[in-house]
Protein backbone atom coordinates (compact mmCIF):
# COMPACT_ATOMS: atom_id res chain seq x y z
CA UNK A 1 0.00 0.00 0.00
CA UNK A 2 2.85 2.42 0.83
CA UNK A 3 4.55 1.71 -2.51
CA UNK A 4 1.34 2.33 -4.45
CA UNK A 5 0.76 5.54 -2.47
CA UNK A 6 4.23 6.88 -3.31
CA UNK A 7 3.87 5.94 -6.99
CA UNK A 8 0.53 7.75 -7.14
CA UNK A 9 2.06 10.94 -5.62
CA UNK A 10 4.93 10.83 -8.14
CA UNK A 11 2.54 10.35 -11.07
CA UNK A 12 0.80 13.63 -10.16
CA UNK A 13 3.98 15.63 -10.62
CA UNK A 14 5.22 17.21 -13.85
CA UNK A 15 6.82 15.03 -16.53
CA UNK A 16 10.59 15.38 -16.59
CA UNK A 17 12.39 15.39 -19.95
CA UNK A 18 15.95 14.16 -20.22
CA UNK A 19 18.38 14.42 -23.14
CA UNK A 20 20.82 11.52 -23.38
CA UNK A 21 23.27 11.27 -26.31
CA UNK A 22 21.19 13.71 -28.27
CA UNK A 23 17.90 11.87 -27.74
CA UNK A 24 15.04 13.13 -25.62
CA UNK A 25 13.37 10.88 -23.05
CA UNK A 26 10.49 11.25 -20.59
CA UNK A 27 10.53 9.75 -17.09
CA UNK A 28 7.11 8.10 -17.55
CA UNK A 29 4.94 6.75 -20.37
CA UNK A 30 2.77 9.28 -22.15
CA UNK A 31 -0.18 8.65 -24.42
CA UNK A 32 -1.47 10.72 -27.30
CA UNK A 33 -4.95 12.14 -26.77
CA UNK A 34 -6.79 11.77 -30.06
CA UNK A 35 -9.90 13.78 -30.86
CA UNK A 36 -13.12 11.89 -31.66
CA UNK A 37 -13.75 10.94 -35.27
CA UNK A 38 -15.83 13.28 -37.37
CA UNK A 39 -18.39 10.58 -38.22
CA UNK A 40 -19.15 6.94 -37.63
CA UNK A 41 -18.72 4.66 -40.67
CA UNK A 42 -21.84 3.37 -42.38
CA UNK A 43 -22.34 -0.35 -41.72
CA UNK A 44 -23.61 -2.45 -44.63
CA UNK A 45 -24.20 -6.15 -45.27
CA UNK A 46 -23.78 -6.53 -49.04
CA UNK A 47 -21.35 -5.60 -51.79
CA UNK A 48 -24.32 -4.24 -53.71
CA UNK A 49 -24.91 -1.78 -50.88
CA UNK A 50 -21.30 -0.56 -51.18
CA UNK A 51 -21.72 -0.11 -54.92
CA UNK A 52 -24.95 1.85 -54.44
CA UNK A 53 -23.32 4.10 -51.81
CA UNK A 54 -20.42 4.95 -54.13
CA UNK A 55 -22.69 5.70 -57.08
CA UNK A 56 -24.89 7.86 -54.84
CA UNK A 57 -21.75 9.81 -53.78
CA UNK A 58 -22.35 9.20 -50.09
CA UNK A 59 -21.21 12.21 -48.00
CA UNK A 60 -20.03 13.92 -51.16
CA UNK A 61 -17.64 11.04 -51.86
CA UNK A 62 -14.70 12.02 -54.07
CA UNK A 63 -13.32 8.84 -55.69
CA UNK A 64 -9.81 10.32 -55.84
CA UNK A 65 -9.67 10.55 -52.03
CA UNK A 66 -10.65 6.96 -51.14
CA UNK A 67 -9.64 3.31 -51.47
CA UNK A 68 -11.71 0.14 -51.35
CA UNK A 69 -9.95 -2.31 -49.04
CA UNK A 70 -10.88 -6.01 -49.15
CA UNK A 71 -10.06 -7.13 -45.63
CA UNK A 72 -11.10 -10.78 -45.94
CA UNK A 73 -13.66 -13.10 -47.49
CA UNK A 74 -16.27 -11.50 -45.25
CA UNK A 75 -15.18 -7.88 -44.86
CA UNK A 76 -14.72 -4.84 -47.14
CA UNK A 77 -14.43 -1.14 -46.34
CA UNK A 78 -13.82 2.23 -47.97
CA UNK A 79 -10.94 4.13 -46.37
CA UNK A 80 -9.19 7.41 -47.08
CA UNK A 81 -6.08 7.25 -49.26
CA UNK A 82 -4.07 9.41 -46.88
CA UNK A 83 -3.68 9.29 -43.14
CA UNK A 84 -4.58 12.30 -41.03
CA UNK A 85 -2.65 14.23 -38.42
CA UNK A 86 -2.83 11.31 -35.98
CA UNK A 87 -1.72 8.65 -38.45
CA UNK A 88 -5.11 7.04 -38.95
CA UNK A 89 -7.32 6.60 -41.98
CA UNK A 90 -10.92 7.67 -42.07
CA UNK A 91 -13.41 4.84 -42.69
CA UNK A 92 -16.35 5.94 -44.81
CA UNK A 93 -18.25 2.64 -44.72
CA UNK A 94 -17.69 -1.01 -43.95
CA UNK A 95 -19.35 -4.16 -45.28
CA UNK A 96 -19.53 -7.27 -43.11
CA UNK A 97 -20.95 -10.60 -44.23
CA UNK A 98 -23.94 -11.56 -42.10
CA UNK A 99 -24.15 -15.31 -42.36
CA UNK A 100 -25.86 -18.12 -40.51
CA UNK A 101 -24.26 -20.93 -38.55
CA UNK A 102 -21.36 -22.34 -40.62
CA UNK A 103 -21.18 -25.99 -41.55
CA UNK A 104 -19.26 -27.85 -38.79
CA UNK A 105 -16.25 -29.06 -40.76
CA UNK A 106 -13.95 -31.51 -39.00
CA UNK A 107 -16.70 -33.08 -36.91
CA UNK A 108 -18.60 -36.34 -37.43
CA UNK A 109 -22.34 -35.71 -37.68
CA UNK A 110 -25.42 -37.94 -37.60
CA UNK A 111 -26.60 -38.72 -41.13
CA UNK A 112 -29.73 -36.54 -40.98
CA UNK A 113 -27.85 -33.48 -39.70
CA UNK A 114 -25.11 -34.02 -42.30
CA UNK A 115 -27.59 -34.26 -45.18
CA UNK A 116 -29.48 -31.15 -44.07
CA UNK A 117 -26.21 -29.24 -43.80
CA UNK A 118 -25.18 -30.27 -47.32
CA UNK A 119 -28.53 -29.19 -48.74
CA UNK A 120 -28.66 -25.82 -46.97
CA UNK A 121 -25.01 -24.66 -46.80
CA UNK A 122 -23.58 -25.76 -50.19
CA UNK A 123 -24.18 -24.98 -53.83
CA UNK A 124 -26.01 -27.96 -55.27
CA UNK A 125 -23.58 -28.88 -58.02
CA UNK A 126 -20.58 -31.12 -58.65
CA UNK A 127 -19.50 -33.66 -56.05
CA UNK A 128 -22.05 -32.50 -53.46
CA UNK A 129 -24.78 -34.40 -55.33
CA UNK A 130 -22.82 -37.65 -55.14
CA UNK A 131 -22.05 -37.14 -51.44
CA UNK A 132 -25.74 -36.44 -50.79
CA UNK A 133 -26.80 -39.57 -52.65
CA UNK A 134 -24.41 -41.76 -50.71
CA UNK A 135 -25.07 -40.22 -47.28
CA UNK A 136 -28.84 -40.46 -47.78
CA UNK A 137 -28.57 -44.19 -48.55
CA UNK A 138 -26.46 -45.27 -45.58
CA UNK A 139 -27.76 -48.09 -43.43
CA UNK A 140 -26.80 -49.40 -40.00
CA UNK A 141 -23.30 -50.88 -39.68
CA UNK A 142 -22.54 -50.00 -43.28
CA UNK A 143 -18.92 -48.92 -42.85
CA UNK A 144 -16.24 -51.52 -42.33
CA UNK A 145 -13.03 -50.06 -40.90
CA UNK A 146 -11.08 -53.00 -42.33
CA UNK A 147 -11.91 -51.71 -45.83
CA UNK A 148 -10.44 -48.24 -45.19
CA UNK A 149 -7.12 -47.76 -47.04
CA UNK A 150 -6.69 -44.13 -45.97
CA UNK A 151 -7.66 -42.84 -49.42
CA UNK A 152 -11.12 -44.30 -49.92
CA UNK A 153 -13.68 -46.32 -47.98
CA UNK A 154 -16.13 -49.02 -48.99
CA UNK A 155 -19.69 -48.85 -47.73
CA UNK A 156 -23.07 -50.47 -48.26
CA UNK A 157 -25.99 -48.31 -49.37
CA UNK A 158 -29.67 -49.06 -49.83
CA UNK A 159 -30.80 -49.36 -53.42
CA UNK A 160 -34.57 -49.22 -53.88
CA UNK A 161 -36.37 -50.89 -50.98
CA UNK A 162 -34.51 -54.07 -50.25
CA UNK A 163 -31.54 -54.34 -52.58
CA UNK A 164 -28.05 -53.28 -51.44
CA UNK A 165 -24.90 -52.37 -53.29
CA UNK A 166 -21.28 -51.90 -52.24
CA UNK A 167 -19.73 -48.64 -53.43
CA UNK A 168 -16.40 -46.91 -52.94
CA UNK A 169 -16.51 -43.58 -51.11
CA UNK A 170 -14.33 -40.94 -52.75
CA UNK A 171 -11.69 -39.83 -50.29
CA UNK A 172 -11.50 -36.25 -51.63
CA UNK A 173 -14.40 -34.23 -53.03
CA UNK A 174 -14.69 -30.72 -54.46
CA UNK A 175 -17.49 -28.64 -52.95
CA UNK A 176 -18.67 -25.02 -52.88
CA UNK A 177 -19.93 -24.07 -49.39
CA UNK A 178 -21.52 -20.66 -48.87
CA UNK A 179 -18.63 -18.79 -47.20
CA UNK A 180 -18.46 -15.33 -48.75
CA UNK A 181 -20.73 -12.62 -50.15
CA UNK A 182 -23.54 -14.02 -52.28
CA UNK A 183 -22.91 -11.55 -55.11
CA UNK A 184 -19.68 -13.35 -56.02
CA UNK A 185 -18.92 -16.93 -57.02
CA UNK A 186 -18.38 -19.18 -54.02
CA UNK A 187 -14.82 -20.61 -54.01
CA UNK A 188 -14.42 -24.32 -54.61
CA UNK A 189 -12.44 -26.32 -52.05
CA UNK A 190 -11.23 -29.86 -51.63
CA UNK A 191 -12.52 -31.81 -48.63
CA UNK A 192 -11.76 -35.22 -47.19
CA UNK A 193 -15.06 -37.10 -46.88
CA UNK A 194 -15.08 -39.76 -44.16
CA UNK A 195 -17.54 -42.18 -42.62
CA UNK A 196 -17.45 -43.66 -39.13
CA UNK A 197 -19.56 -46.56 -37.95
CA UNK A 198 -20.83 -47.46 -34.52
CA UNK A 199 -22.34 -50.85 -33.84
CA UNK A 200 -26.10 -50.86 -34.31
CA UNK A 201 -26.19 -47.25 -35.54
CA UNK A 202 -26.31 -45.50 -38.90
CA UNK A 203 -22.76 -44.36 -39.79
CA UNK A 204 -21.77 -40.78 -39.11
CA UNK A 205 -20.36 -38.50 -41.82
CA UNK A 206 -17.71 -35.77 -41.75
CA UNK A 207 -15.99 -33.32 -44.07
CA UNK A 208 -12.44 -32.17 -43.34
CA UNK A 209 -10.96 -29.12 -45.09
CA UNK A 210 -8.04 -30.13 -47.29
CA UNK A 211 -6.97 -27.06 -49.25
CA UNK A 212 -4.87 -25.24 -46.65
CA UNK A 213 -7.44 -22.43 -46.55
CA UNK A 214 -6.47 -21.25 -50.03
CA UNK A 215 -10.18 -20.68 -50.59
CA UNK A 216 -9.90 -17.53 -48.46
CA UNK A 217 -7.39 -16.03 -50.89
CA UNK A 218 -9.57 -17.10 -53.82
CA UNK A 219 -12.58 -15.39 -52.23
CA UNK A 220 -10.67 -12.13 -51.62
CA UNK A 221 -9.47 -12.03 -55.24
CA UNK A 222 -12.98 -12.81 -56.49
CA UNK A 223 -14.41 -9.92 -54.45
CA UNK A 224 -11.71 -7.61 -55.83
CA UNK A 225 -12.52 -8.65 -59.42
CA UNK A 226 -16.27 -8.14 -58.83
CA UNK A 227 -15.75 -4.62 -57.48
CA UNK A 228 -13.36 -3.66 -60.27
CA UNK A 229 -15.87 -4.85 -62.85
CA UNK A 230 -18.41 -2.32 -61.51
CA UNK A 231 -16.25 0.62 -62.69
CA UNK A 232 -16.56 2.58 -59.45
CA UNK A 233 -13.42 4.63 -60.26
CA UNK A 234 -11.94 3.82 -56.85
CA UNK A 235 -8.81 1.64 -56.55
CA UNK A 236 -9.48 -1.77 -54.98
CA UNK A 237 -6.78 -3.12 -52.66
CA UNK A 238 -6.83 -6.81 -51.70
Indicate the pLDDT class of residue 157, thresholds 50, 70 and 90. low
Residue 191: partners with Cβ closer than 8 Å, 6 or more residues away: 105, 172, 173, 174, 175, 207, 208, 209, 210
Give the strand pairing for 163-169 and 91-96.
unpaired
Predicted model pTM: 0.77
Indicate the pLDDT class of residue 160, thresholds 50, 70 and 90. very low
Residue 168: partners with Cβ closer than 8 Å, 6 or more residues away: 152, 153, 154
Give the count of alpha carbons within 13 A of 205, CB side only. 29
pLDDT 10s digits, 116-136: 999 999 999 989 999 998 888
**Average confidence score pLDDT of the chain:** 84
Residue 88: partners with Cβ closer than 8 Å, 6 or more residues away: 34
Amino acid sequence: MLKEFVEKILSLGPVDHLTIHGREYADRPMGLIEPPRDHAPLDLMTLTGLMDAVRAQLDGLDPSAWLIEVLSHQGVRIVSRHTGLYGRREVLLSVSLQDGEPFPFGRFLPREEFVIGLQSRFLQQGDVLEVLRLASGLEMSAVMVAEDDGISQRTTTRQGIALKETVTVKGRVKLRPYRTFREVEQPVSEFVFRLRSKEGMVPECALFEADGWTWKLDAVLTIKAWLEAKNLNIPVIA
